[in-house]
Amino acid sequence: MALGTKKRETRKSLRQPGWITLDGGFAARPCVVEDLSSTGARITIEDRNTLPAKLRLAFSRDARTGRACEVVWREGRTFGVKFVR
């Protein structure tokens, strides 16, 4: 393995609707979960508003079912998030 590279978790391509909630808020913003692994996900949002560093990602509009995430990279409207506890 080359220096500076790390093995990425296997990602499963989903292109499934998801929901983002911010700071325990109740207003859920729609997103598309492009792919998913055991450690994180790649999501795309429709609006141009930037996402904060911490959010919750859910597969239903019910925020209680979501997982806490941190944004680790962003490119336009696409974001990479890692799951946190």
- Residue 72, domain CATH: 2.40.10.430
pLDDT band at 1 (very low <50, low <70, confident <90, very high): very low
- What distances in angstroms separate CA 69 from CA 1, 2, 3, 47, one per listed residue? 28, 29, 28, 19
Q: Look at residue 38 in the predicted model and tell me its pLDDT.
A: 93
Residue 48 lies in a domain: yes
Residue 81 has pLDDT above 80, yes or no: yes
- Higher pLDDT pick, 43 / 64: 43
- Rounded Cα distance between 24 and 44, Å, is 20
The token pair that represents 47 in the structure block: 């609006």
Residue 4 lies in a domain: no
Residue 47 lies in a domain: yes
Residue 17 lies in a domain: yes
Residue 5 lies in a domain: no
Residue 46 lies in a domain: yes
Residue 68 lies in a domain: yes
Structural domain span for residue 42: 12-22+30-83
Instruction: Please state whether the predicted TM-score (pTM) of the whole model is above 0.85.
Output: no
Tokens 């492009």, residue? 34
* Secondary structure (3-state) at 23: coil
| Top-ranked range on mean pLDDT: pick from 4-8, 20-24, 42-46 | 42-46
Residue 35 has pLDDT above 90, yes or no: yes
**Domain count for the chain:** 1
